Amino acid sequence: LAEQVTRLLQLLQPGGNGASITAVAGMAGLGKTALSVHVAHRLKEQFPDGQLFLDLAGTGDAPVTAAQGLARLITAFNPAAHLPAEVPALQSIYRSELGGKRVLIIRDNAREGDQVQPLLPSAAMGSSGYCVRSHSRQRDFSAPRRLAVFKAPSRRPSAQRI
């Protein structure tokens, strides 16, 4: 676990031009969410403008849409924001709200890349950290920035003869 924490801390360090995007993927029950939240707490000093946790409900019957996710992220910074229904317009507002800020955002429980892609940063959004936690091993989270896939090691259940 210490190696995983160290590696994720390195991947999410702010700096440079643009955002650090990291995907944490692996089988269910490995502690991906706990790892992501633990690392976020350790990085709070590096992201003074905020830390957000967005559950995308990817394992449920009603996963969060890109528009719903964008609206939740926007209203976290501007509760009075006028929110259009269209994803491109929401993306524009989202990028304006977070532009130049150092924010760490965990998007948890993602089902598919189409759910996450509109939520990823643009180059103008500053040195934010983005941790996407998927609920399965293989998901398409292509990104315009550095994308590192960090997989939790698979655990083999121990068996006991009875």
> CA 123 to CA 143: how far, in whole Å?
11
Do 103 and 97 form a contact (C-beta atoms < 8 A)?
no
What pLDDT score was predicted for residue 127?
Answer: 58
Rg (CA), the chain: 16
What pLDDT score was predicted for residue 32?
Answer: 82
For residue range 105-126, list pLDDT tens digits in order: 888 888 887 888 888 876 555 5
Q: Element (H or E) spanning 25, and its range?
A: strand 20-25
For residue range 3-59, list pLDDT tens digits in order: 888 888 887 776 665 677 777 777 777 788 888 899 889 988 988 888 999 999 988
What pLDDT score was predicted for residue 125?
Answer: 58
With CA atoms as reference, report the closest residue to 115 among 55, 48, 52: 55
> CA 123 to CA 8: how far, in whole Å?
21
What pLDDT score was predicted for residue 77?
Answer: 92
Region of residue 29 (phi > 0: left; psi between -120 and 50: alpha; otherwise: beta)? left
Distance of CA 145 to the CA centre of its chain: 13
What pLDDT score was predicted for residue 134?
Answer: 53
**Do the bridges between strand 51-55 and strand 129-134 make them parallel or antiparallel, or are there none, so unpaired?**
unpaired
For residue range 62-107, list pLDDT tens digits in order: 999 999 999 999 999 999 999 999 999 999 999 898 888 888 888 8
What pLDDT score was predicted for residue 10?
Answer: 80
Between residues 146 and 65, the one the model is more confident about: 65
Classify residue 136 by its DSSP letter: S
